[in-house]
Structure 1
Amino acid sequence: MVVPPPAIVGALLVLAWLLDLAFPLPLAAPLRLAGLIVMGLGVALAGWALALMLRARTDPRPDRPDRVLIESGPFRSSRNPIYLGFLVFSAGLALRWGSLWGWLAVALAFLALDRLVVPREERYLRRRFGAAYEAYAARVRRWI
């Protein structure tokens, strides 16, 4: 990957924050506590998936080779729980901000991950793990 996925999501969130400072687009009252809870859920989900990868001695960075195909924990429900955690965290920020810019950042982050990042990773995983990945992909949805 030319740009790491966390940098893509982070850049979109920073851009949304800056745009909101310059051109506020209030959508609803900020839900600070709810947003904080949702942000925490996103961090917990990504952290859980990351911990499983590290325990399996698989480097979570998308530019590094995978040692094993992990199918337990959050990987039972999502093929991309770390990226899903990023999106949940982003949705928590959008709730806290109460701005349309935050939700646009969430939507653009989803599109960037779903169209640019995940398909490349899936092609790699198909080559690396073959039939095992095909069976996993048939059982587990890309997101949720």
Structure 2
Amino acid sequence: MPSPPAKAALPPPVLYVTCMAIAMILSQVVPLPLPSNSWTQACGFAAIIIGQGLSFWAMLRFRRQHTTASNFNAPDELLQDGPFAVSRNPINLGDTLAYVGIAGLLADIWPWLLLPILLYLMNWLVIRPDERQLNELFGETYRQYCRRVRRWL
């Protein structure tokens, strides 16, 4: 099996938007509808709000510590508190929750079928290269952090 790229291959939003766009096209071409009601709609909106709230909280932590949130730049500091105490990737987790919320609102199976592919691509093209970079930059401190905090949840 080939190793992941040395640096993040794509910005995470590109992967999320691409998968959702493909799902929406497939939903139009070959609709596979799922039940939709006020409960599923409310859950969809809640997942979007919670997910984006988590992402914004993590972005705020980067900003307050004056370090980069970009997958293409080296961070100056390893954040371990706030949302980073729960997930090593709170922005990606938040974006995944938003994706799930949109999938619920679309009421079609295609976004759900593409979700495992999206998560695989995120792990392979974004998270693993980030982890390699953080390990090189922060060494044992990062390895201890990894033992305490899970990659996603």
Tell me how far 1:104 sits from its aligned partner.
1.9
Gaps of 5+ in 2: 1-7
Structure 2 equivalent of residue 23 of structure 1: 30
Letter in 2 for 1:42: G
Q: Distance in 2 between matches of 1:109 and 1:51?
A: 25
Q: Distance in 2 between matches of 1:85 and 1:109?
A: 14
Gaps of 5+ in 1: none
Number of positions where the alignment pairs a residue of Structure 1 with one of Structure 2: 144
Q: Deviations over 1:84-127 (max 9, x none)?
A: 01100000011111211111232222111122211111000000
Q: Greater RCO between the two (CA within 8 Å, min separation 6)?
A: 2
**Is 1:121 the counterpart of 2:134 in the alignment?**
no
Q: Which moved more, 1:11-20 or 1:101-110?
A: 101-110
TM-score (norm 1): 0.95
Structure 2 equivalent of residue 8 of structure 1: 15
Kept after mapping to 2: 8 A contact 1:79/1:142: yes
Percent of pairs with identical residues: 32
Please tell me the root mean square deviation across aligned C-alpha atoms, in Å.
1.2
Letter in 2 for 1:6: P
Tell me how far 1:27 sits from its aligned partner.
2.7
TM-score (norm 2): 0.89
**Is 1:136 the counterpart of 2:145 in the alignment?**
yes
